[in-house]
Amino acid sequence: MATHKSAIKRARQNEIRNFRNKSNRTRVKNVIKRVRTAISEKSPEAAQTALAAAIPVIHKVAQKGAIHRKTASRKISRLTKQINAL
């Protein structure tokens, strides 16, 4: 366990950031799941609206640093490709 004042603060900050990043990554997984569910139901309109809602969420999480920006781009690209194939 940390004993210096600065190390204690750093541990506290890391705990908060870890919680925030984890919740943001979970949010991304949930919006992606909604898009994939719409794709599996063969519903292009629902898939388009789900993707339109998912893109800003994915970009925002990447901007915050919870996921890498190229990972975000790859996820959006693959979802868009799947919707275009419907």
Summarize the confidence of residues 29-37 as an average pLDDT.
Answer: 97
Helical ranges in the chain per DSSP H: 5-40, 44-64, 69-84
Quote the pLDDT of residue 78: 97
pLDDT in tens, 53-86: 999 999 999 999 999 999 999 999 999 999 999 8
Quote the pLDDT of residue 2: 80
In three-state secondary structure terms, 43 is coil
Closest by Cα among 55, 58, 78, 80 to 69:
58
- Domains, the chain, in order of start with CATH, read 5-84 (1.20.58.110)
The sign of the torsion formed by the CA atoms of 17, 18, 23, 28 equals positive
Residue 1 has pLDDT above 90, yes or no: no
